[in-house]
Chains A and B, each alone.
Chain A
Amino acid sequence: MTTFVLINVTLLAILIATALTISGMRTLYAATMLTALFSLVTACLFVLLDAVDVAFTEAAVGVGISTVLLLGVLSLTRSREAVTPRLRRLPGAVVVLFTGGTLIYASQDLPEFGSPTTPVQTHPLTDVYLRQSQEDIGIPNTVTSVLASYRGLDTLGELVVVFTAGVAVLALLGPLMQPAEAREREVLDLVDYRVLRVVTGMLMPFILLFALYVLFHGDFGPGGGFQAGVIFASGFVLYGLVFGLDRAQQVLPRRVLWVLIAVGPVLYAGVGVANMLLGGAFLDYDTFAPDDAAAGQHIGILLVESAIGVTVAAVMTSIFFGFANRVESSR
């Protein structure tokens, strides 16, 4: 127990120190790297809380892809923060202190950490999710049950949020760019480094295979569409970084990406519509196999997770391409 407390305290101390350092920094490259560290420490804390799925997502999204995207943005802009006059920082400081104060005030009456008698633990809902779900859905990872079935609409919503982000980036950077025109061959591509080239080539199948594993293993352990999509995307980003954008876009042309972005929401909502046509409620996967509810749930969850994986991977990749194209054409 004491080791646990000790690890928790240490991690939280690192987290606070990182946050304070970031807020004092002016060089944005360093700040970006530190936000990655921040996410990594957060992911560790999630692991300690036994929230392995969340930790996995945080590691993949917070540490991995969002850092790459932030670096992509920084290569377009100045990488030093402009100085805000002291007087204009004051209102911000007041708001931050007020917010922090309210949170501390709230924490006095929050249920005790880890106690078995918190409202969340004693609510009948917890029993439904932890026990009943084994009969209703029958997959060991209850996180996936809640995410993909009980609260499937939220997940559809989150997928649409990712889709919206992709559309927004395409709208602002996409169709107004002509990547084919006026692009000079870079003096030295990363592809000229043989070690990088060979190692990336060797890693690619493993990355993609791992993404597939994460996608289909979500029923049994941590994983699922979101994480898998991000791992897929990081594979393509790595490929693009090393072999150049042209070759990456030959593998995954924009037209294909454009379609893939939209396929996920259509597939996910299509599953729900199919359920309605089969006589159930929206997203009632039981209707896929009327005799064996659990089998129906399996089919539904698999389809839904695949839909998520496709769109998340396509959106992340196209956001990266969007920024990277901009960098190349501005040179």
Chain B
Amino acid sequence: MTAHLPVLQVLVPLVCAPFCVLLRSRTAAWLLFLFAALASLTCAVLLAVRVGGDGAQRYEMGGWPAPAGIEFVVGAFNTPVLLVVSAVAVVVAVYSRRSVTSEVDARRVPLLYTCLCLTLAGLLGLTVTGDVFNAFVFLEISSLSTYALVAMGRHRRALLASFRYLVIGTVGATFLLIGIGLAYAVTGTLNMSDLARRVADLGDDGGGNRALYAAVVFVFVGLAVKIAVFPLHAWLPGAYAQAPSAIGAFLSATSTKVAIYVFCRFAFTVFGTTLVFGTMPIDRIGLALACLAMVAGSAVACFQTDLKYLLAWSSIAQIGYILAGISLATTAGVSAGYLHVINHAVLKAALFCAAGLLVLRLGSARFTALAGLGRRMPWTFAAVVIAGLGLVGVPPTAGFASKWALLTALVDQGQWAVVAAVLASSLLAMVYIGRIVEVAWFREPAEPGTGPTASKAPASMVAAIWVLVLASVYFGLDATWPAGLADAAADALLANGGE
């Protein structure tokens, strides 16, 4: 059965989704999602062990050899993403039980878990597939289910946020499809390894083939929408902030991260570094946009008056760090990018989960509701502060480890402008985290009894938050495990997918 692990990784959540619809019970649907998340985490761990031992694992669908059929490839470059996505799914599954019940109409809950299973399956499929068109199919599954999830938010504004995301996201997906189509026309294949070979055969600079250049442009613009790279980020704040809290936590930790992984997969192992970073200026564009994202994202975050929106804008800045690392196209840079993918996923999930707890207890995550929080809910406040310091990158936290790796990689390449942007963004992060502390600790509490309040924080939600917070602290104190994963991933990518 272990030979089937790559397909089981995706299949279990995929099959759980229709069963959620068939059983039509809230508890059953939740149990199915929990089961799907646990099963994917088990698969991811077993696969990571196998990849560590025997190198990349390939699985041929339907028994058809690779270019004729579709293959799944699990290597050092995607195991970290599989681990992050499925681990966050498990935590969110625990967290979601109470959070979702309090925020979503009971009749919609089974459908919410259906969509959550589908998103999980889509993201995992996108990560393991070794076929470009199959990647598009999984992108469609994850995107469509995400639109539905965002639309289930508490306020009517969630519908607008979802519609916005749907329109922008569909344009992005279409661009990706056009790019894949052009690449197919030029090479005659959809398999990633085969594509890479045939692109390489065209010559170092793609043989001057303009259709191939356009393919690269379309693929990367399409992915940039999904990553929420700075000028294409407009969908993100509304989508994360208006979605039900558990969904916001899950999406913020996983969906852009998987898109970033797909970006790496296309850049390093499909089109190849010489074409993407040599002939075409994707690296320089990436660095420039990363700087803009870091500064603008953090600056806008400073002016938000709702914790969830603040966190969403901070995500845009953090995506900038990851993009900067990857755009360097050096082992150290890509490794720093991967490390920050892991650390940011943990930190942002923790913060969004905490925001969801505040919504449950206080009825809102607006700053007016948060006033005096530090004295009423000291533990939640502590969790927010610890994870917030991680976002800033204060020394013994996870954020520091990845930021330090990124700065080292940037200094190695002499990218002083980007270094300055990272530092400026960190200062701004200090400002917006400081604002939360100011509101929560120093401001007098507003008159009690505004909005629906729960008297006690549910243990499952508190546990989920603290698991994430403690994980982030642990990754800050002892970064060997995530850093080892990130280094292996970077090595595998730069060695052309470890083939």
Contact = CB atoms under 8 A, between A and B. Distances in A.
Interface of A: 99, 102-103, 105-111, 118-126, 128-129, 132, 149-154, 157-158, 160-161, 163-165, 167-168, 170-172, 174-176, 258-259, 261-266, 269, 272-273, 276, 280-286
A286 B63 contact: yes
A171 B178 CA distance: 31
B218 A285 contact: no
A157 B17 CA distance: 13
B149 to A, nearest CB: 9
A111 B185 contact: yes
A120 B138 CA distance: 24
10 contacts: A119-B198, A124-B67, A152-B61, A153-B61, A161-B141, A273-B15, A281-B59, A281-B62, A281-B63, A286-B63
B145 interface: yes
Given A103-B214, A265-B17, A125 B144 contact: no
Contacts of B141: 157, 160-161, 164
Given A168-B145, A171-B148, A160 B14 contact: yes
A254 to B, nearest CB: 11
Interface of B: 4, 7, 11, 14-15, 17-19, 21-22, 24, 59-64, 67-70, 105, 107-108, 111-112, 114-115, 118, 121, 125, 133-134, 137-138, 140-141, 144-145, 147-148, 151-152, 175, 178, 182, 184-189, 198, 209-215, 217-218
Contact of B189 (A103, A125, A167, A266): A125
Nearest to B11: A269
A150 B115 contact: no
Contacts of B210: 105-106, 108-109
Chain B, interface SS category: helix
A285 B62 contact: yes
Given A122-B188, A125-B67, A176-B105, A167 B125 contact: no
Given A161-B140, A165-B144, A282 B61 contact: yes
A285 B61 CA distance: 11
Nearest to A127: B68
Contacts of B217: 102
Contact of B19 (A110, A266, A285): A266
Nearest to A123: B188
Contacts of A263: 18
User: Interface centre among B61, B115, B134, B186, by most A CB within 10 Å?
Assistant: B61
Nearest to A285: B62
A120 B183 CA distance: 11
Contacts of B63: 280-281, 284, 286
Given A102-B214, A262-B19, A281-B59, A167 B148 contact: yes
Contacts of A285: 62
A149 B62 contact: yes
A153 B189 contact: no
B62 A283 contact: yes
User: Interface centre among B68, B186, B211, by most A CB within 10 Å?
Assistant: B68
Contacts of B115: 164, 167-168, 171
Contact of A266 (B22, B105, B133, B148): B22
A100 to B, nearest CB: 12
